[in-house]
């Protein structure tokens, strides 16, 4: 029986997708639920599985095409998959251990990593994965390529060389032009839209993290043993932000036309960097979470962002965002609003700086905080007092835990 393989229903607000990669070709045998093709939307990569075992009789839409929900991608002839259904191994693939099971031998990869492997004609078994459960990340592939290139450098035969060698040898320097991914294009569009729509203003403050760091050091091991998750800084900042949002509800609001929509819930977006670019997964009802609940939820979301399994429902509906440029070494920045939200909190590097404490100069772990806000509905007084509230709670975490 012939089965049409169609583009599945797309997430709300997404009108189309790009077909980025077929994992089978016409005539191949496939297994039920095997991923056949990757579709990239503005925010996530969707995998389209085989509805039944059989043979992929016809591919109707090629890679690079734009598709919409319901479009027929291919035709599957249902039945027992032929013996030749296994994917062809590239010529340079390493030999498998005879006793090894295929699922154990082939590392897990995300769609973005699979595309990178295909672009460089690499087999996944050649790259050591450093991600969760041995998953191969984009960084792993790039590191492998760098090692592989450096082991074969010979300017005399035109092999790959670094920029320094090219300049010293007087070789022509080439350029590579690649189209933006849909995600990167959408990020660019939203950032420009935010600049053109909101009246953005940023206010700064600094926070002394001595007490937070002492508290983490004192209870870090016990916390991890009890709850099975690490105690990070983000949970303190998120909980402090929620208390600030309760005191200044307009910072948790959004603009719709000429209306201000006040949200009586606290869904906090946490900006994370992934192989496909910046993503902002949303943690729901943070005000009802314990520190352990928050750390576990954040860890799970970050893992989904890294392995490409994050869904549209994970990325929509936030009321406030926190971004941490400090993990990359940023000392200070002016974050851009994640519309339709009206404010975003920026964290930065923790630096030992001389501070005057009770008349004495001491080295203290200090962090600059930045709050970018929509001046159309948030006044400077509210923005500054919100940031001071966060500062006060973090410098005296007892107030945060006791909610005083």
Residue 380 has pLDDT above 80, yes or no: yes
Give residue 320's Cα distance to chain centre: 17
Residues annotated as catalytic are: 375, 379
- Taking the whole predicted model, whether its pTM rises above 0.85 is answered as no
Calculate helix-pair angle for 234-247, 380-395, nearest 10 degrees.
140
Give residue 190's Cα distance to chain centre: 16
**pLDDT number for residue 112:** 66
**pLDDT number for residue 161:** 47
CATH code assigned to 1-88: 2.40.50.100
CA distance 308 to 276: 8
CA distance 376 to 73: 46
More confident call, 83 vs 268? 268
Residue 155 has pLDDT above 70, yes or no: no
**pLDDT number for residue 259:** 93
CATH code assigned to 90-178: 4.10.320.10
Taking a C-beta distance cutoff of 8 angstroms, is the pair 86, 25 a contact?
A: no
Taking a C-beta distance cutoff of 8 angstroms, is the pair 24, 88 a contact?
A: no
102 SS3 class: helix
- Cα separations (Å) of 228 from 114, 132, 221, 239, 291? 32, 16, 10, 20, 12
Residue 88 has pLDDT above 70, yes or no: no
CA distance 65 to 76: 20
Taking a C-beta distance cutoff of 8 angstroms, is the pair 226, 387 a contact?
A: no
Q: Give the tens place of pLDDT for each residue, 209-228.
A: 999 999 999 999 999 999 99
Within 175-267, strands assigned E span: 200-208, 254-256, 259-261
Q: Give the tens place of pLDDT for each residue, 305-345.
A: 887 788 878 888 899 999 999 888 899 999 999 888 999 99
In the block, residue with structure tokens 């598709």: 67
Q: Quick one: which of 165, 120, 157 has its CA closest to 142?
A: 120
Over residues 387-397, mean pLDDT: 96
CATH architecture of the domain covering 183-402? 2-Layer Sandwich (3.30)
> Percentage of the chain surpassing pLDDT 90?
43
CA distance 154 to 278: 37
String of b and e for 60-85 (b: at least 16 CB within 10 Å)? ebeeeeebeeebebbbbebeebeeeb
Instruction: Work out the pLDDT band at 13, boundaries 50, 70, 90.
Output: low
Domain ranges of the chain: 1-88, 90-178, 183-402
**pLDDT number for residue 143:** 72
């Amino acid at each position: 029986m012939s089965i049409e393989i169609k583009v599945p229903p797309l997430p709300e607000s997404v009108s189309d997708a790009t077909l980025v990669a077929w994992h089978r070709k016409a005539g191949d045998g496939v297994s039920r639920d095997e991923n056949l093709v990757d579709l990239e939307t503005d925010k996530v990569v969707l995998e389209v599985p085989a509805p039944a075992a059989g043979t992929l009789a016809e591919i109707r839409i090629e890679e690079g095409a734009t598709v919409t929900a319901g479009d027929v991608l291919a035709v599957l002839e249902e039945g027992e998959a032929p013996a030749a259904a296994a994917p062809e191994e590239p010529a340079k693939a390493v030999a498998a251990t005879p006793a090894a099971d295929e699922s154990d031998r082939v590392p897990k990869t995300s769609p973005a990593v699979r595309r990178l492997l295909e672009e460089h004609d690499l087999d996944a078994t050649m790259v050591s994965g450093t991600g969760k459960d041995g998953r191969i990340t984009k960084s792993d592939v790039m590191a492998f390529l760098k090692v592989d290139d450096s082991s074969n450098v010979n300017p005399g035969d035109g092999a790959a060389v670094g920029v320094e060698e090219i300049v010293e040898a007087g070789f022509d320097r080439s350029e590579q032009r690649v189209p933006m991914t849909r995600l990167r294009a959408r990020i660019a569009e939203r950032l420009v839209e935010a600049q053109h729509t909101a009246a953005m203003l940023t206010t700064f403050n600094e926070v002394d993290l001595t007490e937070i760091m002492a508290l983490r050091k004192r209870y870090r091991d016990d916390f991890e043993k009890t709850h099975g998750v690490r105690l990070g800084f983000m949970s303190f900042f998120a909980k402090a932000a929620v208390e600030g949002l309760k005191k200044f509800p307009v910072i948790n609001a959004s603009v719709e036309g000429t209306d201000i929509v006040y949200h009586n819930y606290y869904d906090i977006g946490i900006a994370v960097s992934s192989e496909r670019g910046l993503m902002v997964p949303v943690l729901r009802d943070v005000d009802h979470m314990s520190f352990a609940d928050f750390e576990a939820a954040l860890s799970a979301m970050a893992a989904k962002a890294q392995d490409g399994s994050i869904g549209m429902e994970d990325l929509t509906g936030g009321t406030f965002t926190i971004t941490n440029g400090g993990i990359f070494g940023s000392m200070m920045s002016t974050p851009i609003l994640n519309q339709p939200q009206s404010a975003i909190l920026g964290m930065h590097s923790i630096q030992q700086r001389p501070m005057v404490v009770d008349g004495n100069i001491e080295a203290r772990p200090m962090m600059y905080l930045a709050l970018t806000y929509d001046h159309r509905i948030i006044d400077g007084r509210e923005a500054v007092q919100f940031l001071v509230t966060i500062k006060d709670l973090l410098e005296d975490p007892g107030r945060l835990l006791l909610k005083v």
